[in-house]
Structure formats: C-alpha cells, structure tokens
Structure 1
Amino acid sequence: MRKPGRRLATLAAAAVAILPFAAHAQLPAPPSAEALAVRAAWWDGYLANGRLVALPDGRRMHLYCEGSGGPVVVLDAGLGDGAWSFAGVQDAIARTSRVCSYDRAGYGTSSPGPMPRDSKALADDLFAMLKASGEAGPYVVVGHSIASLDVREFALTHPKDVAGLVLIDPSYEGQMERMAAVAPTVAAAQANATAPYKMCAATPRTEAADRLCGLIPTSGLPPAAQAWMKAQARGPAYFQAMLGELDAFQGADAADTRELTGAREALAAKAKGRPPLGDTPLVVLTATSHPAPGMTAEEGVAMERLWNAMHDQIAALSARGSNRIVPGATHYIHDVRPQLVVDAVAEVVAAARKGR
C-alpha cells in the first residue's frame, strides 16, 4: 500500500511487514505518464474481466486472468495489496504467457477466510481457487513480500503443480526475531505499528474511524478504479484480513508459521541431501533500499546484510535457485523496476517450458 490507491495516507505506520524492516515507508517518486497509462489499462481489464471463483466451502475469490500460453503465471501480492499490486506488470507478462492475479480472502470482493490466516490457509485457498477456476497447472508462482511465504508453502505442498517461482523481495520465516537482534530501534517501532489496523478492523466502526480508514489517495487512478477502491477495498474485512496475516507472521502463530506442512517436507528433503524444491527454477529478487526512520547507519548495514543472507537461504531451496541483487531498488521492485520483474518471470517460464 504505497502508491496512489494503495496507502492510507494518514496510517503510514501500517507499513510494518509491507516493507521488510521499516515501521514507516517512504512514498516513491510519482509514476511517469507512461506508467500511469499502463496501470489505467490494467484497471480497465481488471474491472471488466475479473471473476469471482466459487470455492468448495462456498466462499468466493476474485481472479483476473489474461493472455495465453502455459505454464500459467500466478501473481500473489504483499500484505495489504490485492491483484492491483501488479497493475504495472501483468499486461506485459500477458503478451507471452497466460497470467492471473487475485485478491486473497478478505481483500477487494473476495470473501473473508477463517482464522488462522497463516501460510497453510492461504496456500490452501490458492490451490482451491486455481482448481475451481479451470486454470490448469503446473504454474509459475510469483510472490511479493509476505506472500512469498504462501507461494513457497504452495510449492512445497503441491510440487507437481509448480513449474517455477519468482519471489520479489521476499519475507522470511522468523525474520522479526532475527532483525530485532541487529536493529532494536526498528524492532521497537514495529511493535507499535499495528494499532491503526485494529481501529479500522473494528465492527462497528465509529463515524470518525470510518472516514479515516476509508481515506485513499486518488491521484493517478482512473475514475472507475477510484470508485471501486472506495466501495470495496477499505472495509473492516480488509483490515481484519491483514491483521490475521500479521498475527500468523509475527504474533502468537509465528511458531506455527515455521512448522507448516511444506516446511516439514522441506526439512525432510534436506535431510536426504537434496534441495527441498529439487531443480524447480527459482529466482529471488532482492531490493537494497529499505528506508526506516530512526535506524542508525550501523543498523542499516546489518539489516541489509541479514536480508541478503536470508534471501540466499531461500534461493538454496532449489538446485536452480538464484538470489539477484537489484541495486537501488526499494521493496516494491515491480513498481520501480517493472521490466526486471517481467524479464525474470519470462526467464522462469522459458525454463519451465524447456523442462517439459
């Protein structure tokens, strides 16, 4: 939630876990006219051609697919973002591949999901939605930030359904504890960053809270998208979904997050001397600019070193994994360097096609 239409301007503290280690996020430079046109075209398609897919339990999830050619690319957004997070890259990917973005449970028009909202639950939702949608696998799954945990769980639990992975500045299990050890200043700030979420998740909300929680910048969004965001994207269910994901990631369920089905399978594979994801193509893209007010220069260096080391560990999940540093890029690499993300997806798709 960091560009027009995605951030509560008065709730900057809600950036916790959207950026990997910032309690407050810096807004990027305004997008160019070309980038705005690309996003406007995406919104036209999303609003006109998105569909609600019925899950076996009766819930519905919003899915938007375009393009043709397998394997199907599936885009999973970071905390607080729905399909719209990929407005700058989905159309470009669709020129050569079938590609689908979706809104997780509680986001947009997708039905809320039962608690806990840990990676197992989210991966199960993704699997059920894809099977019900008729979009045939195997898939190249793309996960940004916290969603990387979900797509990794998906890949580890359903290996035959995954042809490759691209992880955009991914989160890592247990990262909060590890980061607290090297940057206590940022850890302390993050501890108080979720209060606005709780106010906005309350039902009923006060009139004042309702106005505050519904605030979204509209600059750069086409009129139809402005109306949709105001009507669909800032109700209590949206904030409840984010809180559920945050609780699983850094709260009481953190231990469970590190002991998911997929993680256990990964440990078993490692014990047998093979990478958990075998030779599945895997590209990790690592940003190098993570602004965090209050962080000392020494903490910044230590945090970036730790962040890169964790991404090396993620890349090692596959014999064909690589961690690629993107100099100067912020956490939303698909915004600031969209072509790099498009190219990484195309590379993994090509490797998957060659391996068939």
Structure 2
Amino acid sequence: MNHFALSAAALLLTAAAAHAAPPVGQDALAGAQIKVDVGGRKLNMYCTGKGSPTVLFEADSGRAGWDWSAVLPEVAKRTRACVYDRAGMGASDPIMRASTVANASKDLNFLIKNAHLDAPFVVVGAGYGAMVAQHYALRSRGAVTGLVLVDAMHEDALPADRAASLEAALACLTAAEQGKTGAGCAYPATAINGEIGPRLAAAQAAQAARPTYWRARASELDSLETSASQMRAARKPFGDMPVAEVAHGEPAAIVAAVMEVLDKQK
C-alpha cells in the first residue's frame, strides 16, 4: 500500500473546519434524491459536480450519506462527487440480509452499475465505511484508482466497545418498535458534516425514530466479526494506487486528502 502523509498546510486547514452556517446544498441530502435498484431494493444516491474521476463517499457504521454534507460541495467544485445511503440508512430501503462488508460492497457495485456511473472512481470511506471502500476497491478490477480512509476501522483492530454498542442499538430498536424514544437513541453527531441546519436535524431525528434504522445499525455491529473475516480474505496490496489516511475527520482535512489523491490520478 502506497501511503502518503498530508502536508502541514493541509493539516492547518482543520482549524477552519467549523461552519458559521450549514454547508451549501445540505438540504438536498436530508431527503430522497435518486433511488437506484440494487436487486429488489433501492438505495438513495445524490451526485453533484462534473468531471472525472467520480468521488464516491462511504459513511461510517450506522450513518447515512448526509454525513458528508460539508465535504461534498467542496469536492464537487473540482469533479463529480456522489454520496449514497447503505440499506436501512437515510432514505434507502430497509435491509433484507445481514449488513456485512461484503454485502455492502456488492450493493455498491450494483449501485454504480445501475446508476450508470462511469469509472474511474476515488472512494472516500470513514470508519466502518473505510472497510467497505477497501473491499469494493479490491474487487473493482481497476475501477477504483484512489482511496481516502478517514478514521479507518481495521479488520484486525475492531472497536473494543462493539458488544456494548450492539446492546444499546438493540435497546433503541425495541424502543422504536414500541413508538418510544429511548435514552441515548439520537442519531450520533459527527465532526465530518460541520454545522447542521434545521432540515437535516429534522431528518436525523426522524431517522432515529425508525425501527428500520436501528435494525440496520444493529446488523452492522452484529456482523463485525464476519466483516473482519471477509476483509482478511479479500486483503491484498493496493500497489501504486494512491491511498491517503486521515486520522481525524474534520471536513477541511478530508477535502485536502481528496485533492491530493485527485492530483495523483494518471
């Protein structure tokens, strides 16, 4: 794997990550946009900007594409940029099978094919989404030409609190099924999306009230060991593909990493 460090100047940009107002275009991510069939289910996708390669964003575990609301418009100033919601997240259809890395990677493959997105792709993944991004890249037969991994989860270092997180998600699922609001059952905050406007805040609150969301979130957590095994089976060197790693998910640092990878495209 060809890792490279972010420049000192790029890291300094993280100090300006906070937004005085919600990012431009954030409201578009709060609801359904393009629903793409991936085999009996539809996943919600939103693309903006023009150019090649297309930058695809993969959210962390239990999270939707709207997490990239502060990063997406900045990348779209340079090239085509797309976010989507995994099954059960955001405006996508509920899960129909275990939420493993391999199943998410297959869904992403069908999404790209059926949405008629043209390669090459740079894939940006956060946390658990970084595993999905890598799994897809390893199976993409050269369609992925760059990766940006943000606070990446690794198959050999799964979160120590995953059992407690699963228990909490299942408790929230029970509460949602009963039409109740469980303690600690809000959609989790993240530094990646910067300031949250009222429409996105309302969408996140509605998400946290749906059993389908908690079922998908619990499935991702419950499937982590299986996902780790799938990653170990798929893992191989990325060769000379540019791979940037960002240790902290502030928007400016992520945008800088994406630009560095785009600069290294052949």
TM-score tier after normalising by the smaller chain length:
0.7 to 0.9
Secondary structure, in 3 states, of the residue corresponding to 2:25? helix
Counterpart of 2:152 (choices 159, 162, 170) is 170
1:337-348 alignment runs, 5 A limit: 338-348=251-261
Match of 2:178 in 1: 206
Higher relative contact order (CA 8 A, sep 6+): 2
- Does residue 233 of structure 2 align to residue 264 of structure 1? yes
Whether the 8 Å CA contact 1:107–1:233 is kept in 2: the answer is: no
Take 2:204 and 2:234, find their aligned partners in 1: how far apart are those partners? 39
1:122 paired residue number = 104
- Superposed CA RMSD: 2.8
Residue of structure 1 in register with 2:61 after alignment = 79
CA spacing shift, 1:85–1:49, aligned 2, 3 Å:
same
Aligned to 2:244: 283
Map of 2:36 onto structure 1: 53
Distance 2:222 2:135 in 1: 17
Equivalent pair of 2:155/2:229 in contact (CA under 8 Å) = no
Unmatched tracts of structure 1, length 5 or more? 1-30, 180-186, 268-275, 288-332
* 1:92-241 paired onto structure 2 within 5 Å: 92-176=74-158, 187=160, 191-202=163-174, 205-207=177-179, 209-210=180-181, 212=183, 215=186, 221-241=196-216
Normalized against structure 2, the TM-score is what? Answer: 0.82
Residues 105-155 of structure 1: per-residue CA shift (max 9 Å, x gap)? 100110122322111000011111111112211210000011111111001
Cα offset for 1:54?
Answer: 1.9
Aligned counterpart, 1:35: 19
Q: Summarize the Cα distance change of 1:278–1:71 in structure 2 as closer, same or farther, 3 Å threshold.
A: same
Change (3 A) 1:346 1:221: closer
Corresponding pairs, count: 247
Contact 1:214–1:230 (8 Å) recurs in 2: no
SS in 2 for 1:237: helix
Contact 1:213 1:234 in 2 (8 A): no
CA distance in 2, matches of 1:238, 1:339: 29
What is the TM-score when the length of structure 1 is the normalising length? 0.62
- CA displacement at 1:61 relative to structure 2: 0.7
2:125 touches 2:150 (CA, 8 Å); kept in 1?
yes
Q: Which of 207, 213, 223 is the aligned partner of 1:248?
A: 223
Is the CA contact (8 Å cut-off) linking 1:166 and 1:284 kept in structure 2?
yes
Amino acid at match of 2:34: R
Post-superposition Cα deviations, 1:156-207, rounded to whole Å, max 9, x if no partner, equal 111321010000010000313xx7xxxxxxx4x6543432210222387234
Whether contact under 8 Å (2:99, 2:223) holds in the other structure is: yes
4+ residue segments displaced more than 4 Å:
31-34, 211-218
User: 5+ unaligned residues in a row in structure 2: which ranges?
Assistant: 1-14, 190-194
Other-structure match for 1:302: none
| Aligned counterparts of 1:117 and 1:279: Cα–Cα separation in 2 | 30
The answer on whether the counterparts of 2:16 and 2:252 sit within 8 Å (CA) in structure 1 is no
Which has the higher Rg, Structure 1 or Structure 2? 1
- C-alpha distance in 2, partners of 1:201/1:126? 26
